[in-house]
Amino acid sequence: MNQRTWLHAWLMLLPALVMLLAFTHIPALSTLWHSLYLPARSGEQAEFAGLDNYRMLLDDEVFWQALSNNLWYALGTVPTSMVLALVMALWVNSRIRGRTALRLAYFTPTMLPMIAVANIWLFFYSPEIGLFNQLLGSLGLDSINWLGDPDWALPSLMLMTIWKEAGFFMIFYLAALQGLNPDLYAAAALEGASPWYRFRRLTLPLLMPTSLFVLVNAVLNAFKLVDHLFILTKGGPNNATNLLLYYIYENAFAFFDSNYAATLTLVLLVLLILLALLQFTLLERRIHYR
Amino acid sequence: MLSRTKRLLAAGLASLVAIAAQAKTELTMYYPVSVGGPLTQVVDGMIEQFEQQNPEIEVNAIYAGNYNDARVKALAALKSGQPAQLSVMFSIDVHELMDQDAIIPFDELVETDEERQWLNSFYPALMENGKVDGVTYGIPFQRSTIVMYYNKDAFREAGLDPERPPQNWDELVEMGQKLVKTDARGQVERWGVMIPSTGYPYWMFGALAKQNGEVLMNSAGNQTWFNKPGVVEALEYWRDLGSRYGVMPEGTIEWGTLRQNFLEQKTAIMWHSTGSLTAVKRNADFDFGVAMLPARKNFGSPTGGGNFYIFKQSTPEERRAALKLVRFMTSPEQAAHWSIETGYIGVSPAAYETEALSRYIKEFPQAAVARDQLKYATAELATHQAGRIRKLLDDAIQSVLNGQAEPEAALNAAQKQAERILSRY
């Protein structure tokens, strides 16, 4: 490569690089730096803590609970919302009447702000006046204290998240489905392949790049969407629904301990990097890009 | 000649007005609303009136969510260099705000004797969370106690005297059991009582502890008493209301939907902030009463709510203007107006002497209960590292109400951790 193209390439990369440095890499480094100090008290210099914050983290039961909640939350929401998204996409991609309205209906939850949605769902979940318990009641079942019972609180949050996310992922699947080559299906039809066979051997493999994209995003969202916690449970009861990012917020803004929050942030960052690596290395080999 | 003088005068006046317009002091103030309802309009109306009376001051009053949000937004604004000269924030944030070096005491701001007297014009119980070591950092504004709302129609239906709400813990259980209504399948249609246990569990718990003769912390905010026998007993009683006596649902009870539960008659009694009073009054389609919380050893409730704070990052002119605004907002007439519109306590005895509020109370005696309860009130849980300490207690309470832990063990653990955190102060 000659000097000029080389320079050219770097110049083209520069704007994106500057943005990445300014808003991703430098903050990440300063977070690391920050996590090595104790919170400054009024008028005093911040005290160097070394790894004290990390030691505190290992002893912090709430952190471990938030971490395990978060893993369950990801496990509970990601696969379900992806499968749902695919099913919905297949359905609204078929030639049925009123499919525009149907697509819109599925996408609506995504367009509503999370906070507004949570305020509505708070009343759905209310044990005495809520929609869900009235449904259960009409079926003759006992009512459930959805958000107030530690066994039900996290699944309740998952349910709302799936409802919110599935429509969003559907859009990606729908776009991918419409980009598929009809010749392949014509050929498959000629060979007499059954619909299930076509789905398994044609559609699914062809959708793999989209699936990877959706998977990465869904996993990220499972760790970074906590807006609804502020309204629905505030992490309670007794931390049954506390998630990592919410716990970071609590530490930084409710407890004024931005240093411990930085420590937690770093742990979350490392976790997300590991998850992303895992997804890419495991799945990359099974994906055919055209 | 005359006309020339006139013209000169006019020009002079015009330029004076121009100078005055330039010298307008701008104030930014954040405030929270934690009980729902159209309270922002009430605040906006009061601010507008202030600006009309004080054309040299312009106020940007910004609604900032609940108490936590308001503190976060105000402090974030200060840190990022945006102006904020005063705010209404949680009365119990005082130690934290001092540790952050964010606020100045009002004692440094008052200049005249009249102003110094003004500092002493509020109900002493409301000053407990605003004063540290005798110095005043917070001026009471949207202040409350917890009161007991009860459905008189439900009382009649259960054969109880609607003018005689439960006076003590035992009566609360007895009457509660009569008030519980179940359908044919044995599902509860109406509960006896609900005490909310999300949002502000430590606050409700402060009431139970006080009724049992205990307080949760010292006034310096560096010591807690979560595991004293009387405090443990209070938590046992709270849990037993659900698990033993069956007058309250088990598990936690949501603060945010409780008022709606009461309005839809899903519970005959609720404990809630007096700040909900006007909303309940406007929306209840049944006969309801308001009473002091029941007693064990004595009556008791913590005070609650928001105080005015003035931030250190402000010029002397801004501080004077801010003081003027605080004085306006807490003046007897405005306090009376605010109390009528919301249910919050009129912050000074003088507010109750105004014609508006005294007439209102004559028509609607429920509005005086929170004030009368001030005699038995204590400070709300306020410590250094308040957020962490509150969370420890909240988690302990919720774990007990959910049956995950025993009261004594949970409170012992919370106390131990609180001691560790507070050892630095």
* CB contact A69 to B (< 8 Å): no
B75 pLDDT more than 70: yes
Among chain B residues, CA nearest to A234: B199
Q: What is the DSSP letter of B403?
A: T
Measured between CA atoms, the residue of chain A closest to residue B387 is A255
Record: contact B250-A145, CB cut-off 8 A:
yes
Q: How far apart are CA B323 and CA A195, in angstroms?
A: 76
How many angstroms separate the CA atoms of B287 and B154, rounded? Answer: 9
What are φ and ψ of residue B292, in 5° steps?
Answer: -65, 155
CATH code matching the domain that covers B146-303+379-422, chosen among 3.40.190.10, 3.60.21.10, 3.10.20.10, 3.40.1260.10:
3.40.190.10
**Segments of B276-341 assigned E as strands:** 288-291, 301-311
Tokens for B98?
């001092």
Q: Which residue of A has its CA nearest to B190?
A: A128
Nearest CA in chain A to B410: A238
Residues of A with Cβ-Cβ distance to B182 under 8 angstroms: none
- Whether the CB-CB separation of B119 and B107 falls below 8 Å is answered with yes
Q: Do A145 and B251 touch (CB under 8 A)?
A: yes
Q: Which helix (H) or strand (E) holds B208?
A: helix B201-211
Strand partners, B191: B267
Dist. CA B125–CA B345, nearest whole Å: 11
Q: Do A128 and B72 touch (CB under 8 A)?
A: no
Q: Mutate which of B257, B397, B421 to disrupt the A interface (most A C-beta within 10 Å)?
A: B257
Q: What's the confidence (pLDDT) of residue A17?
A: 93
The total of other beta-carbon atoms located within 10 Å of residue A201's CB is 12
Identify the helix (H) or strand (E) that includes residue A123: helix A114-125
Identify which of B250, B264, B387 has the shortest CB distance to residue A256: B387
Q: Are A63 and A260 in contact (CB under 8 A)?
A: no
| CATH superfamily of the domain spanning B24-144+304-370 | Periplasmic binding protein-like II (3.40.190.10)
DSSP A23-48: IIIHHHHHHHHHTTBPPPPTTSPPPB
Residue B169: name the closest of B209, B196, B124 by CA: B209
Chain A residues closer than 8 Å to B191 by CB: 128
pLDDT value at position B183?
Answer: 85
The minimum CA-CA distance between A110 and chain B, rounded to whole Å, is: 24
What are the residues whose beta carbons fall under 8 Å from the beta carbon of A18, sequence distance 6 or more? Answer: none
Query: How confident is the model over B141-168, as a mean pLDDT?
Result: 95
Residue B375: Cβ-neighbour burial (10 angstroms; 0-12, 13-18, 19+): exposed
Write phi, then psi, for B309 (nearest 5 degrees). -125, 150
Model ipTM over 0.85: no
Residue B219 backbone phi and psi in degrees, to 5: -75, -20
| CB-based contact A237 B260, cutoff 8 Å | no
Lookup result for tokens 């402090």: B75
CA A231, chain centre distance (Å):
18
CB contact (8 A) between residue A237 and residue B98: no
Q: Is B387 in Cβ contact with A255 (below 8 Å)? A: yes
Q: Kindly state the average pLDDT of the residues B312-320.
A: 92
B302 - beta bridge partners? B378
Percent helix, percent strand, percent coil in chain B, to nearest 5: 50, 20, 30
As a whole number, mean pLDDT of residues B409-417 equals: 95
User: Which residues, at least 6 apart from A81, have a Cβ–Cβ distance to it below 8 Å?
Assistant: A161, A162, A165, A166, A169, A218
Specify the fold of A70-284. MetI-like fold (1.10.3720)
**CA dihedral over B199, B162, B282, B375, signed as positive or negative:** negative
Nearest to B383 by CA among B89, B95, B68: B95
Question: Strands (DSSP E) along B280-422, which ranges?
Answer: 288-291, 301-311, 377-378
Partners of A62 on chain B (C-beta within 8 Å) are: 395
Residue with token string 């004692």 = B107
- Please give the Cα distance from B99 to B79 (Å, whole number): 15
Q: Which residues of A touch B185 (CB under 8 A)?
A: 140
| Chain A: residue whose CA lies nearest to B267 | A128
* Joined tokens for residue B199: 């949002």
**Inter-residue contact B190 to B154 (CB < 8 Å):** yes
Token pair belonging to A126: 């209310």
Contact criterion met (CB below 8 Å) for B199 and B256 = yes
- CB pair distance less than 8 Å for B398 and A142: no
CA distance A44 to A57: 24
Span B346-364, pLDDT tens digits: 999 999 999 999 999 999 9
Instruction: Decide if pLDDT at B410 tops 50.
Output: yes
Closest-CA distance of chain A to residue B179, Å:
16
Give the minimum alpha-carbon distance from A118 to chain B in angstroms, rounded to a whole number: 12
Residues 203 to 222 of A: which have CB under 8 A from any B CB?
none
CA–CA gap between residue B173 and residue B182 (Å, rounded): 17
pLDDT in tens, chain A (290 residues): 578 889 999 999 999 999 999 998 999 999 998 888 887 765 567 778 788 889 888 988 899 999 999 999 999 999 999 999 999 999 888 878 888 888 888 888 888 888 889 989 998 998 888 899 889 888 888 888 899 888 999 999 999 999 999 999 999 999 999 988 889 888 988 888 888 998 988 899 889 989 999 998 999 999 988 889 988 988 879 899 999 999 999 998 888 888 899 999 999 999 999 988 888 888 777 776 65
Q: Cα separation of B417 and A35, whole Å?
A: 22
What does the pLDDT read at residue B11?
56
Mutate to test the interface with A, among B191, B252, B270 (most CBs of A within 10 A): B252
Of B100, B187, B251, the CB nearest to A148: B251
Q: What is the pLDDT of residue B36?
A: 63
Contact status of A118 with chain B (Cβ, < 8 Å) = no
For chain B, which residues lie within 8 Å of any Cβ of chain A, measuring from their own Cβ? Answer: 68, 71-72, 96, 98-101, 185, 187, 191, 197-199, 249-254, 256-257, 260-261, 264, 266-267, 385, 387-388, 391, 394-395, 398-399, 401-402, 404
CA B369 to chain centre: 15
Does position B79 have pLDDT exceeding 90, yes or no? no
Partner residue opposite A123 with nearest CB, options B71, B257, B388: B257
The pLDDT score that the predictor gives to residue B5 is 57
Residue in A119, A128, A241 to test binding to B, most B beta-carbons within 10 Å: A128
Paired tokens of B175: 């009457």
Cβ of B96 within 8 Å of Cβ of A256? The answer is: yes
pTM for the whole structure: 0.86
CA closest to A120 among chain B residues = B257
Instruction: Spell out the residues 6+ positions from residue B118 whose beta carbon is closer than 8 angstroms to its own.
Output: B110, B327
Dihedral sign, CA of B77, B81, B84, B85? Answer: positive
Residue pLDDT, tens place only, B22-73: 578 899 999 998 766 678 889 999 999 999 999 999 999 999 888 888 888 8
- Is beta strand B25-31 parallel, antiparallel or unpaired with respect to B57-63? parallel
| Chain A residues within an 8 Å CB radius of B391 | 250, 254-255
Residue B395 and residue A231: Cβ atoms within 8 Å? Answer: no
- pLDDT at residue B20 is higher than 70: no
Tell me the shortest Cα–Cα distance from A214 to chain B, in angstroms: 33
Distance of alpha carbon B139 from alpha carbon B25, whole angstroms = 21
Q: Which residue in A230, A64, A269, A91 sits closest to A170, CA to CA?
A: A91
Q: Give residue limits of the domains in chain B.
A: 24-144+304-370, 146-303+379-422
User: Do the chains contact at A126 and B187, CB–CB below 8 Å?
Assistant: no
Q: Give B176-220 pLDDT, tens digit per residue.
A: 999 999 988 888 889 999 999 998 999 999 999 999 999 999 988
Where does residue B319 rank: exposed (0-12), middle (13-18), buried (19+ CB within 10 A)?
A: buried
Q: Residue B232: count other Cβ atoms within 10 Å of its Cβ.
A: 22
Strands (E), B64-127: 86-90, 103-104
For residues B207 and B230, what is the distance between their CA atoms, to the nearest angstrom?
12
Cα B222 to Cα B385: distance, rounded to the nearest angstrom: 9
B350 and B332 Cβ atoms separated by less than 8 Å: yes
CB contact under 8 A, A142 and B187: yes
The per-residue pLDDT for A253 is 84
How confident is residue B1, by pLDDT bands cut at 50, 70 and 90? Answer: very low
Looking at CA atoms only, how far is residue B244 from chain A in angstroms? 17
Paired strand residues for B140? B307
What is residue B224's DSSP assignment?
B
Which chain A residue's Cα is nearest to B68? A254
Probe site for chain B from A120, A122, A238 (most B CB atoms < 10 A): A238
Phi-psi region of A45 (alpha: psi -120 to 50; beta: other; left: phi over 0): beta
B146-303+379-422: same fold as B24-144+304-370?
yes
**Cβ atoms within 10 Å, residue A266:** 18
Q: What is the pLDDT of residue B96?
A: 86
